[in-house]
Structure 1
Amino acid sequence: MAEGIVIVFDFDRTLIDGDSDNWVVTEMGLTEIFHQLRFTLPWNRLMDRMMTELHSQGRSVQDIEACLQRIMPIDSHIVEAIKSAKSLGCDLKIVSDANQFFIEKILEQHDLLDCFSDIYTNPTSVDEIGKLRISPYHGGGAAASTPPHSCNLCPPNLCKGLVMDHIRASSSSPKDQILTRFIYLGDGGGDFCPTLKLRECDCVMPRTNYPLWKRISDNPSLIKADVKEWSSAEELQRILMQLFTSCEYLLVGSSVKLGNDCKLYPSSHIFGNTELGESCVLMNGAVVGDELPGGYTVIGGNNIIGHHAVVGVKCQDLKYKQEPQSSTSSVILALSLSLAVVLWFQDVPKYMMVTGERGELRGLNLEGLRRNGFTMSKEHNQDLCSVPTVGAMLQSIRDSFTDGRRGICKFRQWLDS
């Protein structure tokens, strides 16, 4: 199952190939007045004005619905991808600058409405005289969902980045927020803001040669998420299926001891002589344990091992040795953080120490340096010592030995040395 994955779709030019607003304007004969008003009103208010025009012509809400049901069909590849993702346990949502009425009627026509747990878009209503009204998602008074926003990347009526923040925060617990992986599909400039909200473990799927793709291409250093571009519905389906099905297998070795309530996500592996405490979580791609002779890995309860993190492979920390081992090359890792939540996203450099939920470098492992031959002799590494920063670091290490300290040698101490 693909539980723990949230797939967020834009609607126009992503889930459907065209634009629902433009379709209604064209098919219902509003092109001339639309172009007359195009640059006098914001898009959201302009579409509300078009609904007023239709009502003045005697066109009903049912007429608009019939027009939407004649819209170009959703490509069968996208329909299959949506239904497959839903059946595998993914949480599907829509975040769109279209509007509630248009989106829901189109999804109903293709029997897809129930596949989506939430639709975040400009709300609609039918007033007392039977006119369809379209309101902004942000800052539209009583009919609006949320207060105004100040994001300079998004149009006034909808900030998709704030919506993404809301979706992530709506998880039932902080742990669920960490564990959830997002896949975001979009095409427009308004999809850039939510893309910036994605993490390294997430994925963004921009449509090739559309505004979102261009902004990502122009600003690659701002993007943390994996980028998978697509140009056709068939390619979208193939990539999306790979993302939530390629990690469907996990491996648990025969010698592994698992505590109660552990959760192992797809493509995680735990093997060797390994013990995992209660309520631990292995995210997608995490590897714990080692098959080396005499290897022994112990992790306490309530720990999270992050996406693609590797723990216990050729690790050694003798301070936490719990019992005599039969081999001096034993792999020993016993985490004393039994009540903490720990999350790593990449390997820790040699002899460095990290802290925090998102691991940050906090100092040097002085015991590890000592065991591996570091001495206080100033004759060593004279060339490196000529570099002020390196010299300060080495002097700080020497000071740590002199003072009899063990463990972390903080960066601020390096600067003060």
Structure 2
Amino acid sequence: MNCFGSPPNSDAPPARSRRAANNMAANTATPPADRRFLIFFDFDETIVDESSDDVVVQAAPGQNLPNWLKDTYRPGHYNEYMQRVLAYLGEKGVTESAIRSVIEKIPASPGMLALFQFLRHRPPQDFEVVLVSDANTFFVDSWLRRVGARQLFAKVFTNPATFDKDGRLVLRPFHSHSCPRCPDNMCKQAVVRDYVLRRTQDRGGRPFQRVFYVGDGANDFCPSLILGPRDVAFARRDYPMHRLITEIHEARPGEFKAVTVPWTSGEDVVERLRRHVEEK
């Protein structure tokens, strides 16, 4: 189908919350083999209109973090930084319900719920929907369930987050990898490549007609590089993913294979998807 290479081992270690030790995706059966299209979604600033990691700070005392904690951040090691942030919240007595409350209040990105409605009401053979996020299981699951969208996703790949016996949310990295573009805890290209290859095998070697990727950030640019010429990269307009795709088009014409569709609203994505589902 596309230029997918041999996948690394990119399965996440199983975790969810103190009530369930399984990965969010583990309770979902293998998707049917007859789907026409595969669509991947990012979460932060794609499905939701803010970064959930930034929003969770609203649960901290004074809705702020101390400078000594902020100063521990190192580029490329954001997951480790968020481990310390969540540990700090636990030490300050911030509860599971308080964290869930601030996460559930994050607004959806413009038109995103309409896009979900479109996907939900398509015939079952049209779309297989997957989420790939550098957030965590608790944030993603809490928000999706609040809007009634969890069942839309055949699979969710994100960093495990589990509440320990003291009620602290413990975050772990999704996997390790060797990609120089991505943070040390997750390369979305590895996740996407592995998933597409495994699902193609599940389908007896039959590829999806098209693969779509909806995102906004620099870590969404990386998986878009392995999309093929029939596939579509939906890049949020004027966000890092869009800027990086524009730069590669200008610097090395022809290297980026996928069709690029900038979006400002989920309705832009719906409009393009309608065209493809009507194709014979």
Match of 1:73 among 107, 120, 128: 107
Distance in 1, matches of 2:65 and 2:169, equals 20
Deviates more, 1:78-87 or 1:189-198: 78-87
* 2:165 maps to 1:128: yes
Q: How does 1:45-64 map to 2 (within 5 A)?
A: 45-64=80-99
Tell me if structure 1 keeps the 8 A contact 2:133–2:158: yes
Tell me if structure 2 keeps the 8 A contact 1:99–1:134: yes
Match of 1:94 among 131, 136, 159: 131
Distance in 1, matches of 2:44 and 2:261, equals 19
The structure number with the bigger radius of gyration is 1
Aligned residues: 235
Which residue of structure 1 aligns with residue 55 of structure 2? Answer: 23
Q: CA RMSD in A?
A: 2.0
> Structure 1, residues 162-192: CA drift from partner, whole Å, max 9, x if none?
001111012113532x234111011111111
Which residue of structure 2 aligns with residue 340 of structure 1? Answer: none
Q: How much does 1:158 deviate?
A: 0.2
Distance 1:155 1:247, change over 3 A: closer
Which residue of structure 2 aligns with residue 105 of structure 1? Answer: 142
Tell me if structure 2 keeps the 8 A contact 1:181–1:202: yes
Question: Alignment identity in percent?
Answer: 27
Which amino acid letter does the alignment assign opposite residue 164 of structure 1? Answer: V
Match of 1:202 among 211, 231, 237: 231
| Structure 1: gaps (5+ residues) | 139-147, 250-266, 269-417
Give the SS at the match of 1:150: coil
Higher relative contact order (CA 8 A, sep 6+): 2
Q: How much does 1:200 deviate?
A: 0.7
Give the SS at the match of 2:158: strand
Q: How much does 1:53 deviate?
A: 1.1
> Structure 1, residues 62-116: CA drift from partner, whole Å, max 9, x if none?
22112222x2322572112112113213111111111110011011111111111
* 2:65 maps to 1:37: no
Distance in 1, matches of 2:209 and 2:68, equals 43
Q: How does 1:339-358 map to 2 (within 5 A)?
A: none
Q: How does 1:343-382 map to 2 (within 5 A)?
A: none
Distance 1:212 1:35, change over 3 A: farther
Tell me if structure 1 keeps the 8 A contact 2:83–2:170: yes
Distance in 2, matches of 1:207 and 1:248, equals 22
Give the SS at the match of 1:205: strand
Which residue of structure 2 aligns with residue 226 of structure 1? Answer: 259
Q: How does 1:250-289 map to 2 (within 5 A)?
A: 267-268=279-280
Distance 1:161 1:38, change over 3 A: farther
Distance 1:242 1:27, change over 3 A: same
Distance 1:136 1:38, change over 3 A: farther
Structure 1 length-normalised TM: 0.53
| Structure 2: gaps (5+ residues) | 1-33
Tell me if structure 2 keeps the 8 A contact 1:9–1:93: yes
Which residue of structure 1 aligns with residue 246 of structure 2? Answer: 217
Tell me if structure 1 keeps the 8 A contact 2:44–2:52: yes
Distance in 1, matches of 2:184 and 2:239, equals 21
Distance 1:202 1:28, change over 3 A: same
Tell me if structure 2 keeps the 8 A contact 1:186–1:212: yes
Which residue of structure 2 aligns with residue 159 of structure 1? Answer: 187
Distance in 2, matches of 1:153 and 1:128, equals 36
